[in-house]
Amino acid sequence: MGIGKTLNNINKLAVKYIFFIVLLSACHYQPTQQGQQYTDGKLSKLYNLTYPQLGRPVNIDSYLEQVKLIEQYSPQLFQKNKVIYDGINQWIIRGLTTNQLNLVGLNSYQLQGQDKWGNVLLTGYYTPIMKARRKPQAQYHYPLYAKPINFSKQLPSRLEIYEGALDGQKLEIAYTDSLIDNFIMEVQGSGYIDFEDGFPPIFFSYNGKNGHPYKSIGRLLIEQGEIDRHKISIQAIKAWAEKQDEQVVKNLLIKNASAVFFEPQGNALVSGSTGVPLIAQASVASDQTIVPAGSVLLVDTPLLDDKGVYRGQRELRLMIALDIGGAIRRQHLDMYQGIGEQAGNLAGYYNHYGRVWLITP
């Protein structure tokens, strides 16, 4: 064998070796930019009995306020979970650590997470405040609808609604100046409407949907290359929409056939599906087949800066499952952030991961 041929074979082996190393590295790549952690190892079950070594929750006062509201507004739900609430009260009073829940008769079960490494998807939602008019005028011509009650067949899709399927039925309960803001309010499930008439804003509560399948417009924008997947947020979606013609925005929104209806509730408090008013950053929407209503969770939450970037800081929160959401499935929690623009900014950025423990007797 000549020297040239030998060197050629060596080069081929080197290329194969480098390719193997690159492939091996890719297989073991574990993303962390959205707050993912891998310190607990692979979790074999949906619920895993573990004793977290974490600091004290930062929101004990707001958690206790949330429990009081459960007792006031849903006595049945309170009684169902009273043993847990009482146990956590004792845990708080005694100043115990997270790995000492057993001393007050409680256990902590870590959720497996979407990747089975304990990384549970954490998103955020909020209650917007939107300016509107009672009748269409100037730029205020995008309607919010009450739920139709006289339909004998399936309710119309979003496209059919945009094309006038609900016209003439007196279902318009407000007119805003933004089609995309209306859509975002539908996704959030409720909002306050300020008619700017000298009276306080009116709470518009969720009043059902049209029964058509939900499709994420954020995912569609990513697939179309309009927004980078690592930069997707409510803010990014709104910024994209502001640069488009109305028809372009409509063409995107109609791909989500699902539509939400509302009911004016005066100056009512923001409540979840349980009927309990929600405290910001102390309540979550969950898939109740995984995390039942009234459940208490320890949530190891990534902190975001004012641009929505995770820079390695975290905090522990006590949170209670009091709401549901059409897009909230399995290992996914939607954290309630509060009312108004600041809450909306924080909610819009959350698409991160945290470790979560379900507290049980």
CATH of the domain at 237: 2.40.240.50
Cβ proximity of 326 and 257 under 8 Å:
no
The angle, 0 to 180 degrees and rounded to 10, between the axes of the packed helices 179-188 and 246-253 is: 30
Same domain, 170 and 55: no
Same domain, 279 and 336: yes
- What mean pLDDT comes out for the span 191-211? 94
Query: Does residue 60 fall inside a structural domain?
Result: yes
Indicate the pLDDT class of residue 42, thresholds 50, 70 and 90: confident
Query: Does residue 30 fall inside a structural domain?
Result: no
- Which stretch of 8-12, 160-164, 185-189, 298-302 has the lowest confidence by average pLDDT? 8-12
pLDDT at 25 over 90: no
pLDDT at 21 over 50: no
Same domain, 83 and 208: no
Per the structure, the count of domains in the chain is: 2
CA dist 270 and 192 (Å) reads: 9
User: Would you state the pLDDT for residue 9?
Assistant: 46
The pTM score is 0.82
Same domain, 102 and 196: no
User: Would you state the pLDDT for residue 33?
Assistant: 66
Nearest in space to 280 (alpha carbons), one of 232, 331, 344: 344
Q: Which of 264, 284, 308 is the last residue of a domain?
A: 264
Domain of residue 180: give its range.
129-264
Indicate the pLDDT class of residue 22, thresholds 50, 70 and 90: very low
Q: Which of 264, 296, 329 is the last residue of a domain?
A: 264
Same domain, 172 and 283: no
Query: Does residue 345 fall inside a structural domain?
Result: yes
Span 122-150, pLDDT tens digits: 999 999 999 999 999 999 999 999 999 87
Nearest in space to 176 (alpha carbons), one of 188, 154, 191, 159: 191
Same domain, 108 and 184: no
DSSP class of 113: -
Query: Does residue 17 fall inside a structural domain?
Result: no
Span 338-347, pLDDT tens digits: 999 999 999 9
DSSP H helical ranges for the chain = 3-27, 60-73, 75-80, 82-93, 158-162, 179-188, 217-223, 234-242, 246-253, 341-349
Query: Does residue 92 fall inside a structural domain?
Result: yes
Q: Which of 210, 243, 264 is the last residue of a domain?
A: 264
- What mean pLDDT comes out for the span 208-230? 93
